[in-house]
Amino acid sequence: MSKSKLSAVPIANSLDDLRNVVNGWKAGGKSVMLVPTMGALHEGHLSLVRIARRKADRVVVSIFVNPAQFAPHEDFQEYPREFEGDAAKLAGEQVDLIYAPKPDVMYAPGASTTVQVEALSSQLCGISRPHFFGGVATIVTKLLIQCAPDMAIFGEKDYQQLLVIRALVRDLSLPVEICAGPIIRDKNGLALSSRNAYLTPEQRRTAPMLNRMMLRAADRITEGADISAVLQHTRSELLKSGFDKIDYLEIHDAETLAPVANKITSPARLFAAAWLGQTRLIDNIAL
């Protein structure tokens, strides 16, 4: 076990260290919540930590930039890594343990087992990033088995990911309760994301249009406007406002992710993924 220079939070880099601490808590009857992250922490992550603090006796935050959820052409190398700053933020939230596994703890040499959640992974981000949910499902399954928390929490910012994780927990009978936290946004509506750091000042001015136009589209749809016409119009407005490419702007069932083409008959959400230069933004809102 080590401690960061700037933080009072103990840090486990190995599986033995993690398990020793968690087993000690459990022997003392304490409940444990895991908050999985890739670091470069912002208020969205910290909001999950605060929910965890309220619900559980002990909070573990994992920080691991998972190579398996990046395709070779994606931003694994550039992804922001700010460990000392993250540790200081987590100390401010009275987190009990940071789990920052070394890469070979998560991927032993020769590792060849993966977890795939077939149905939910075939929509939305699963189409534009086909490698992504396999990487996420495998690493989250591993983190849940390694830490064996009573609860784990994920953000609705990555709503499809949340559903994938609920499905794998159900399908593999993992003994953990999955909790969700709402999307935390900038004052201008932009959903917070570690990747927002990539945006140029000009792109930062354009980025909030995504949420603004999604809200406008949602209003028109709930007022009864034709869904495909509204979505078509919103796509072209986004491109006009400066977005370079739209991977999707679609309505899907909030539980099954089945596409909703022309009539909303059960809880549904509007989902979007759009590019500003090299940066891909995602967002979703309830209808």
**Residues with a known catalytic role:** 45
**Which residue, 165 or 213, is less far from ligand AMP as judged by CB?**
165
The footprint of ligand AMP on residues 168-187 (CB under 6 A) is 181, 183-184
* Token duo for residue 283: 């967002």
**Which residue, 4 or 193, is less far from ligand AMP as judged by CB?**
193
**Which residue, 19 or 42, is less far from ligand AMP as judged by CB?**
42
Residue 141 interacts with ligand AMP (CB under 6 A): yes or no? no
Residue 155 interacts with ligand AMP (CB under 6 A): yes or no? yes
Residue of 1, 83, 71, 73 whose CA lies nearest to 38: 83
**Which residue, 195 or 233, is less far from ligand AMP as judged by CB?**
195
Backbone angles phi, psi at 254, to 5 degrees: -75, -15
Please report the sign of the dihedral spanned by the C-alpha atoms of residue 150, residue 155, residue 159, residue 164: negative
C-alpha dist (Å) from residue 18 to 7, 89, 147: 18, 20, 7
Which of 93, 96, 158, 250 lies at the binding interface for ligand AMP (CB under 6 A)? 158
Residue 38 interacts with ligand AMP (CB under 6 A): yes or no? yes
Which of 18, 21, 34, 44 lies at the binding interface for ligand AMP (CB under 6 A)? 44
Q: Nearest distance from residue 180's CB to ligand AMP, in Å? A: 9
Residue of 183, 192, 141 whose CA lies nearest to 36: 141
* Total number of residues shown for the chain: 287
Which of 45, 58, 89, 269 lies at the binding interface for ligand AMP (CB under 6 A)? 45
7: helix, coil or strand? coil
Contact 132, 158 (CB under 8 A): no
Residue 279 interacts with ligand AMP (CB under 6 A): yes or no? no
Residue 167 interacts with ligand AMP (CB under 6 A): yes or no? no
Q: How many residues bind ligand AMP (CB under 6 A)?
A: 17
Q: Hunting for tokens 């840090």 — which residue is that?
A: 11
Cα–Cα distance for residue pair 201/42, rounded to 1 Å: 19
Which of 157, 252, 269, 280 lies at the binding interface for ligand AMP (CB under 6 A)? 157
Q: Nearest distance from residue 76's CB to ligand AMP, in Å? A: 13
Residue of 28, 10, 3, 33 whose CA lies nearest to 98: 10
Q: Fill in the DSSP letter of residue 190.
A: P
Residues that bind ligand AMP (CB under 6 A): 37-38, 44-45, 47-48, 154-155, 157-158, 181, 183-184, 191-194
